[in-house]
Structure 1
Amino acid sequence: MTHPTILLAPDKFKGSLDAADVAHHLAEGIRDEDPRILVRRSPIADGGEGTVAAALAAGWSARRATVEGPTGLPVEATYAVDGARAVIELAESCGLQRLPAGRLAPWAASTYGLGQIIAAAVDAGATEVIVGLGGSASTDGGAGVLQALGGMILDRNGESVGRGARHLGSTTTIDLSAARARLAGVRIVAACDVTNPLLGPEGAAHVFGPQKGLRSNDLLVAEAGLDAFARAVCGPTRAGLSSVPGAGAAGGTGFALLALGATFRPGIDVVADLIGLEEQISLADLVVVGEGSLDVQSLAGKGPLGVARLAGSLGVPVIAVVGRNCLSPAQAAGGGLMTVLDLISLDPDPDRCVRYAPELLRRTGGQVARLARDRCERAPSLD
């Protein structure tokens, strides 16, 4: 009997374990059950938090830069490089995770640090910069990014507008010539699965502002600030960039990157290319994906379901290992999943599931090994 090859390609279990740790504990469980099974690990991300880690796990090199965090305090942020390509995460420099003591700062938080990392990567020789959008702490429309790269954002008196959402409403004029000159010859790719525009009821302020601390009576003020910013960039009609799907991503940072000529790609597609996922899937008999919660949002093709779609195109079956499964069997099958194993079935207490996730993943790895071995015994291969 031949022994199967299993590719572990999980995303993070948010609030519990990062993707590499999830893959590690699953691999331990598989090897405990059957050490003859060949296990390969390729942790993934959906283009947001974890994208740099996925690139590093695939062999990219780490670089560090000291930049401004969301509230202006210095932070050391890591990005990944491979030749003239660089991968950057917004969350690493100015995301929610970088807020001092975790205190939300919806009016003061800025994306200036992200612009500083982009500048550092370009100064180091990058000609392609991939920016993972997600986990932002601000609703500044990406104004901080533009300022850090040399853009001039001015009020009616010709003075520079301060950082953060509180100052956007005073914007009257924007000059991006210096920022665009700095990025001449550089391709910017925004890895993003969000399709929200910058403005309106589905825009950055109304949909994502509450996550960053904006109260219901703040939303119209924040929207007005983004509107003034968009008018300065696009003209009085705000036509064009502000309505592009994804412009509202990361508190409007997608809009700023569009103004700099960025192209948008689905996050999982970007990550798949970075880590050579298609080739790795083609060498496997079974793929295991995973995330903290599998739900209807997952069906949009983000993260694990994006991997399942790719594996399906190559004829490789897929199992999902998740913290909690909110999909029906029909929905899971429609998403390309052969089986879904959830940790909550092993321990119905959500707090214990989080606390003992490593142990539960190891036990689930044993289940994965048995499923793989049973399929292998029933057929010459898992194809």
Structure 2
Amino acid sequence: MYEFTEETRTLVDLVRRIVKDHQMPLERRKLRGEDLFVKDYIPGREAARQAGLWGLGLPEEFGGANLSLVDQLAVVEESKKCLTPILFGGEVSRDLLRLKGEQKARYLDPFLSDAKRPSFAFVEPEGGSDPRGHTATTAKEDGDGWVINGTKIWVSGYEDTEIVFVLARVGEEGAGGMSLFAVERGSPGLIEHGPMVMLGGARAVDRGSHYTAYKLVFENCRVDKLARIGGEGADFKETQSVVNLARLGQAAATLGVSQRCYEMMVDYAKNRVLFGSPLSEKQSIQSMIVNSWIEIQQNRLMMYTCAKKGDRGEDVRIETSLLKLVCTEMVNRVIDRAIQIHGGVGCTYEHPLAHFYDYYRMSRIWVGASEVHKYRVLARHLLA
């Protein structure tokens, strides 16, 4: 079992109190069928900000909490145990931190202050989980700007964004010829298709009552020179760093949800009497509970060991791929066991399990499908 330091335990306790005071009441409202709005999440968001939980991984010079990777994941794990988690602010890609002057004012400062929220468009219709090998979107210099052509799909967070960061090819085939471009919503030549309603919940009504994604088509979409992020040295590594952090964050989220489901299993099994005895006395129920506990502990140990390596500056690309795979597969098994133990009550949307089941089924596809991690990342690494 992985044990936190005293400092990390204090941080986790702080997050737990904020979730209890501000987010769990929202969860109860959601389970009663009430609509939730962005304004309903503001008190918890502000409580987190007042507690110093703003820009969790950002350096202090940018107003961030400058937490270690271990502490960031601990915060995410604890906050995600709730169906209506804290919406932490000040989260930006670290690639934007090097921006200066007008670029900084346009593409960094608004996100740091929470005046704007970013969205990312990496995936293409033919690419799926392989943006490196299937980026057909191009950006070509034209006079005092760039012209972008191509199509992106599964763009999430777009319903309340003002700027979308687009991965486009600027040179020859290969990852080295790609860069990020900041495209403002409403730009001429940017055509929106959507929203597409997908599996998932815990969305505020004014952000879409369900998890949504968009398809974006760029037809001679013109942006100015400042829109290119990173200049001539930009390449796929910038995107990969975003993806690696997303995979770790996803692992932490699935562990938090798995722990919540495990605790619900134990509580229900102890108190539900069937055929004259508690469910907890049935061997099949014990097996489901024990197997869930083992998986959670194994994966937590692996995740925080990986985070420690990341804090030391070591290359953890393979570990993050493995974590994304095993943790998202795990959370689906754990939720399924929890629903099986709860029976019919676990299948209603008056219970958190049904919502978790909806939302985390997608986790096996987000940021690279399980099969991609098995056969494109891990197998390639092992057989190199």
Shorter-chain TM range is under 0.3
TM-score normalized with structure 2 length: 0.28
Structure with higher helix content: 2
